[in-house]
Amino acid sequence: MVVSLLDPDIKNIMKKISEFQLAQSIDQTNLNPLLSYEEFRKFIQESRKLDFASVAILPMYTKIAKEILQGSNTKVDVAISYPFGSVPAWLKAKEIEFAIRDGADEIDYVVNIAAVKSLDYKTLLEEARMIVSASEGKTVKAIIEMWNLTKDEIRFTCETILESNVAFIKSSTAYKGYTNMRASTVEDALLLKKIVGDRTKIKIAGGIKDINLTLELLSLGVNRIGTSSGVQILSQFQEIHQNG
């Protein structure tokens, strides 16, 4: 089936971005804890061939990913305290130490949501600073679960975490176990951009499965897309080009 692009603005974006640039905006994600090593290897090998910016994975697979991705354009992005962010900051920091030892290039950590909902500035900032310190200069993305927050809570969280110099604010874990979780939206991206401006980068994750939404988000200034549908998105991009 040919993918349809109805929005002229999206068509214009298609003309300005190469397949490689598109791939380099995607964190290809597989956070399934039930994979065998061999199943995981196949996922990493495919991701390497397609030049994704990173593979977002669980800590236990870090060594395998690093081994396969060595010398490629794809980095190892390890999810820390996924999916709940409910362990103490020092334990998140320790998890990061082991991830870096095993080859992590980037870190996605889930913030202390209880501290967010309590507007606990001190705890949230101390955690963020501890995470950034433990990451030893690696790219850090703070996941804030926007779908669960009010606009005031989102603003509070972003402003607090920005004091730690994290590299990205990320919209959601996209964890399917939450019964009331919604997909991330264009509105989420616009709100984050309004709050953080150019002070940090933005990653949107959760429910992004097609080229139209991907390109629209990138056009708004989103720097990275988190998705398990990266292969599908690139395939749609190729299909559109082939069909003019």
d(C-alpha 63, C-alpha 69), whole Å: 10
Write the CB contacts of 156 (distance below 8 Å, at least 6 apart in sequence).
116, 119, 121
C-alpha torsion sign, points 124, 131, 162, 149: negative
d(C-alpha 22, C-alpha 215), whole Å: 9
- Under DSSP, the state recorded for 167 is S
Query: Is 198 one of the annotated active-site residues of the chain?
Result: no
Query: Is 63 one of the annotated active-site residues of the chain?
Result: no
Q: Which of 75, 92, 138, 203 is catalytic?
A: 203
Q: Which of 51, 102, 108, 188 is catalytic?
A: 108
Q: Which of 92, 170, 188, 201 is catalytic?
A: 170
Q: How many CB atoms lie within 10 A of CB 191?
A: 17
- Structure tokens belonging to residue 217: 């988000």
Burial of 9 (0-12, 13-18, 19+ CB in 10 A): exposed
- Quick one: the chain helix, strand, coil %, rounded to 5? 50, 15, 35
Query: Is 49 one of the annotated active-site residues of the chain?
Result: no
In sequence order, what DSSP letters do the residues of 214-242 get, joined into one string? HHHHHHTT--EEEES-HHHHHHHHHHHHH
Tell me the catalytic residues.
108, 170, 203
